[in-house]
Structure 1
Amino acid sequence: MTDTLSANRVLMVLPSHRLVRKAAEAGCRVWSVWDPALRDRTYLDKVAQYSEQLLLADMDDETALRALIARTAREHQVTQVMHLGGVRAMGPVLAEAEALGLGANPAHAVRLLSDRGALRELLRTHPRLRVHARRAADAAGVREAMAHFAGAPFVVKSAVASGGCDAAFIRDTHELGRWERRAAALGSCGPFVIEEYLTGPQYAVETLSVDGMHQVVGITAARTTGPPRFVTTSHVHPAPLGVRDEAAIRSAVCALLDLVAFECGPAHTEVVQTPGGPRILASRAGLGGGHIPLLVELASGTDLEEETFRALTGRVPMLASARRTAMIGFFPFSEDRSAPLSDLGGLRALPYVRAVEFPTRPGGPVPRTTGHTSHRGFVVVIGAGPEEAAEHLAAACSLLRVESETEAESEPWP
């Protein structure tokens, strides 16, 4: 690779190995920073394969991490520092990138998106996006805030995305007490956001921004179990939406990004389409989870990671319209069940199945589902439209049988 000062020299913190590979293939030199406690050696070797150098750091040691970033940027004449690991170590990385003048976004913009309490406060004055909400420093504050909802149901969750306490639906003091015990068991001490319960279908919106201009890559329908745990059961991309609803959701998300002064790169925003119009549920810088990038690529051919890199380096993303529907279903086994008895290889052989994963061996223990981001496995299918995709998902899942520890009867899913 040609070593010229005009070439992009990028320092990436917690990047996926795919993004490093695509950046290198695009002609960039990449220095990657990873915490060895967060990934196994095999994964880190893949990152190192396409990096100029893999630098190891403790993400919890802010002083050492900032020093490493500054030293690497200076020694290798880095042109941009990118934080790509969600909220982990976001604060010190953004602060150092801004101090060096090498950040893609103002640090406050990225922090605002990940701070649920600050985001609610910002949107409070927005006529279309405001949501009745209060902030509480601790669990006792949540109980005090309950009075402001006058008996109406509300949702309580950690004020920051990394708070470790999933959203919970509260209708009365009994449910609040149950939440308090669970939060204490998880070690989640606050701060918290208490907000009105937003009714309506949920959507995930992926955007790419360049110089403050926001492009909506696509909208994905998110289906959950609803209250009280809101565990995700499936995603459908593109979301089956009418023209007016789609336009309203796009407008709401772009308005949010303008409000926080988000400038460059990917953002993932969760929206509820309420009877009164779209309301922001949560947002953060970065790509969406739940395998949404895979669904986007299967539906439209758009490689979100590749286009993310283009956006972060100031180039206009090249996006394509969806040609078909992609759908992912998560295996929702109950606590007392074993791994699937059916052959996963048979599922993978179906012509409309594009991915299958199960995180244990047949007959082994099933990991516990602890919240909306915790899943025991999944299957991804494609179809000509949402109806066909749903039919294919149901057909694939009908082949999956599970066995209860108390009785040996097979049971289809879903």
Structure 2
Amino acid sequence: MSPASRLLLCFPSLAFARKAVRSGLDLRLVVDVGQRALFAPFAADRLTLVDARDETAVAGAVAQVVLRCGITHVLDGDGFPATRVCPEFAEAAHVLADDRRLEAVLAPSRHPMVRTRVVATADEVPGAVAETGLPAVLRSGDEETVVRSGAALAGWARRHDHPGPFAVGEFVPGPEVVVTTLTHDGMHRVVGVTAQRAVAHGVRYLFPATVGEAEAREVRATVTAMLDLVGYEFGPAETSVVLSGRGPRIVRARPGFGTRGIARLIEVTTGFDVQTELCRALAGVPVRPPEPRWFAGAEYLRPPSAGVRVLAEGATPEIVEERLDAARRRELTCGDTAVSARYVRNTEAGEASGIEDGRNREPDL
């Protein structure tokens, strides 16, 4: 481990903090005062306690730890460079997280971004569509709709009275994939390419994506070139890419571990844990992209089962798709929204899937 690598985690999950400690990192933690008993048994000498609701106190605590301990890397629990007191760490991450800024950076490059506008309310969507043009892709949370006419746009607006934000993007035909990367010292490693597509009742993900090797190489090159252009030096990221007839087009990028459960699909099929490998990279262990052994998929359902995720794994993409279809039908029939994730049995005999909760759970101390 390089003696210069010192990591500060701000409000991490217990599982993430454990992984960092196990990796042998010179680690410090900023956690809420109410979580002292949770973290103290294994990290008492690494803790700084603060009221998480007091933004001024949090900023002050982070600044003190950074200066006192010579911190080189700062992440929040989602993998985002969190501190304002070290802007050189965080600037590239903020560019990735801002569609307009990222579009401006990529505009003169060989990899222009799909034009996207983000608005706060549904009433502002028609104005954004006028800017990007029809057809347009409208995104809100896990919902994605393509509108091809003014009448279709008006119908969408009548059905969407919930609060935003809403992302309005130009429509680029082609399949979409999500590229998961880990970056350390400016070296980018693609650790997964996951297929994403809209289905009748939500959004579906399948890992690994079934794309040809030549196309996969082009996608990897596009994403790593984008990360170079914004100067992303450290951290995880997820980048959505459309495989258009004219080559890959970047739809959006987000620093961090992601919120769609893709990292869990990667872990189930390869044994590669994104959080652990990021910590190991800081400790001096090279990141080696994993090799999937089978397929795993997830689907997030729209209302009436909003927030419900169904999960499946299998030897082929077709098996996973069939199991997700069956699980979705059961969810829509039952209409039970009390459970946030379901799993699909692997075999007729009832062997349970390894991704039943979609998360990497560890028991609390």
TM-score higher than 0.5? yes
Amino acid at match of 2:21: A
Distance 1:242 1:9, change over 3 A: closer
Aligned with 1:85: secondary structure?
A: coil
Partner of 2:309: 377
Amino acid at match of 2:101: A
Pair 1:249-2:232 in alignment: no
Q: Give ranges in structure 1 of 5+ residues lacking alignment.
A: 159-163, 336-367, 370-374, 406-412
CA contact (8 A) 1:30 1:53 kept: no
CA contact (8 A) 2:270 2:290 kept: yes
Pair 1:96-2:85 in alignment: yes
Partner of 2:58: 65
Pair 1:117-2:100 in alignment: yes
Whole-angstrom distance in 2 between the partners of 1:184 and 1:401: 23
Whole-angstrom distance in 2 between the partners of 1:312 and 1:123: 28
Amino acid at match of 2:189: Q
Select the structure with the greater relative contact order (CA < 8 A; seq sep ≥ 6): 2
For the pair shown, the structure with the greater C-alpha radius of gyration is 1
Whole-angstrom distance in 1 between the partners of 2:326 and 2:168: 40
Whole-angstrom distance in 2 between the partners of 1:326 and 1:376: 17
Pair 1:210-2:184 in alignment: yes
Partner of 1:347: none
Aligned with 2:251: secondary structure?
A: strand
Pair 1:317-2:282 in alignment: no
Question: TM-score when scaled to structure 1?
Answer: 0.67
Whole-angstrom distance in 2 between the partners of 1:397 and 1:180: 26
Whole-angstrom distance in 2 between the partners of 1:265 and 1:386: 30
Q: For residues 372-394 of structure 1, give each alpha carbon's deviation from its aligned partner in whole angstroms, at most 9, with x where no partner exists.
A: xxx3132332x333234445555
Distance 1:220 1:145, change over 3 A: closer
CA contact (8 A) 2:186 2:232 kept: yes
Structure 1 residue 216, shift from structure 2 partner: 0.7
Distance 1:301 1:183, change over 3 A: same
Amino acid at match of 2:50: L
Partner of 1:231: 202
CA contact (8 A) 1:47 1:54 kept: no
What is the aligned-residue RMSD (CA, Å)? 3.8
Whole-angstrom distance in 2 between the partners of 1:201 and 1:34: 41
- Residue identity over aligned pairs, in percent, reads 31
Aligned with 1:273: secondary structure?
A: strand
Pair 1:402-2:333 in alignment: yes
Distance 1:173 1:397, change over 3 A: closer
Whole-angstrom distance in 1 between the partners of 2:315 and 2:121: 49
Aligned with 1:195: secondary structure?
A: strand
Write out aligned runs for 1:279-290 (5 A): 279-290=249-260
Q: For residues 347-382 of structure 1, give each alpha carbon's deviation from its aligned partner in whole angstroms, at most 9, with x where no partner exists.
A: xxxxxxxxxxxxxxxxxxxxx52xxxxx3132332x
Question: TM-score when scaled to structure 2?
Answer: 0.75
State how many pairs are aligned. 334
CA contact (8 A) 1:268 1:285 kept: yes
Whole-angstrom distance in 2 between the partners of 1:303 and 1:390: 24
Of 381, 386, 392 in structure 1, the residue corresponding to residue 317 of structure 2 is 386
Q: Give ranges in structure 2 of 5+ residues lacking alignment.
A: 337-343, 345-365
Q: For residues 216-274 of structure 1, give each alpha carbon's deviation from its aligned partner in whole angstroms, at most 9, with x where no partner exists.
A: 10111123227xxx931x32211111112211211111111111111122111111212
Pair 1:302-2:234 in alignment: no
Aligned with 1:267: secondary structure?
A: strand
Partner of 1:196: 170
Pair 1:326-2:296 in alignment: yes
Whole-angstrom distance in 1 between the partners of 2:266 and 2:286: 18
CA contact (8 A) 1:32 1:54 kept: yes
Whole-angstrom distance in 2 between the partners of 1:291 and 1:148: 32
